[in-house]
């Protein structure tokens, strides 16, 4: 285990000034559900642990101008308990109910799950279909990054060394329905083998809008763009859904690891997608 220092900023400005000086050696620590694991296994070998758990500037859950806004310091359990999110974005609440277990949900933050940038981050596919944005800040100012362009590889993203995530935003969903499904090797804290999120809106008898995202089947969580285009404007039925599921399997590039083979992940992705689409379209089996 490396040598670490500890710092607790008293304001966002102080945090950003410290991040400017320390860069990637300043490790943001809130719930610690990932950072402490990485320290133990040696992935993080030294630097400063920056405790932001009590920083008010990173707190807050609300709705403003049609956008849901969640502070980077909000833990999953508090987002689940938010009446605003439950009322205005019930699909997201239902997705978060599948995140780990109550103990982890009381520690892990939404921003931490995103910053970790794991291909199997369970909060990410639902946020992708909600077209979420990450708000990042530095002493130079702030910028909004579409989540779809945030990830660059396993454990990698576009955050600069002097930036921190301050909040996550997404348009309040309306006129559609969403579903999130994941497959793990066991219940509880198990990591996903694969996951699927969908959001569909129907006008008349045809799909007016379709968004599909996958986790665990590519180097980063991804949107299934070809499958989305194939579904939009069509009248959904069982045959079309099976066709879309097969097509989506061609968009993924899974790997083989200790949890599953690449071929199994590809097969599961199609099955999960078909089930999620049926659920979102009211065609439950």
pLDDT per residue as tens digits for the range 106-131: 999 999 999 999 999 999 999 999 99
Dihedral angle computed from the Cα positions of residues 67, 72, 78 and 79, in that order, rounded to the nearest 10 degrees: 30
Q: Is residue 1 pLDDT above 60, yes or no?
A: no
Residues 154 and 242 in one domain: no
pTM: predicted TM-score of the whole model, two decimal places: 0.96
Domain range holding 200?
177-280
* Residue 285 in domain: no
Task: Give the domain-ending residue among 144, 171, 198.
Answer: 171
Within 10 angstroms of residue 188's Cβ, the number of other Cβ atoms is 10
Cα–Cα distance between 47 and 35 in angstroms, integer?
12
Query: Strand pairing partners for 146?
Result: 133
Q: Band of the pLDDT at 151, cuts 50, 70, 90?
A: very high
Q: Band of the pLDDT at 43, cuts 50, 70, 90?
A: confident
* Overall domain count for the chain: 3
233: domain CATH number is 3.30.390.50
* Residue 8 in domain: yes
């Amino acid at each position: 285990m490396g040598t670490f220092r500890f710092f607790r900023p008293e304001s966002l400005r102080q945090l950003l000034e410290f991040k400017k000086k320390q860069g990637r050696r300043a490790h943001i620590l809130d719930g610690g559900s990932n950072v402490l694991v990485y320290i133990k296994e040696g992935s993080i070998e030294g630097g400063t642990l920056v405790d932001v758990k009590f920083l008010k500037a990173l707190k807050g859950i609300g709705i403003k101008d049609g956008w849901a806004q969640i502070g980077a310091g909000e833990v999953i359990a508090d987002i689940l308990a938010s009446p605003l999110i439950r009322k205005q974005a019930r699909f997201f609440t239902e997705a978060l109910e599948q995140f780990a277990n109550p103990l982890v949900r009381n520690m892990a933050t939404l921003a931490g799950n995103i910053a970790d940038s794991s291909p199997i981050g369970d909060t990410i596919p639902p946020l992708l279909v909600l077209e979420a944005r990450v708000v990042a800040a530095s002493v130079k100012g702030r910028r909004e990054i579409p989540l779809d362009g945030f990830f660059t590889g396993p454990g990698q993203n576009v955050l600069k060394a002097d930036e921190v995530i301050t909040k996550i935003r997404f348009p309040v969903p309306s006129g559609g329905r969403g579903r999130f499904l994941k497959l793990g090797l066991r219940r509880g804290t198990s990591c996903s083998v694969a996951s699927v999120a969908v959001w569909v809106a129907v006008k008349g008898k045809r799909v007016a809008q379709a968004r599909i995202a996958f986790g665990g089947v590519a180097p980063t969580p991804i949107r299934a763009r070809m499958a989305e285009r194939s579904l939009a404007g069509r009248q959904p039925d069982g045959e079309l859904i099976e066709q879309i599921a097969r097509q989506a399997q061609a968009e993924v590039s899974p790997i083989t690891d200790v949890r599953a083979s690449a071929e199994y992940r590809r097969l599961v992705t199609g099955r999960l997608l078909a089930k999620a689409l049926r659920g979102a379209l009211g065609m439950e089996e």
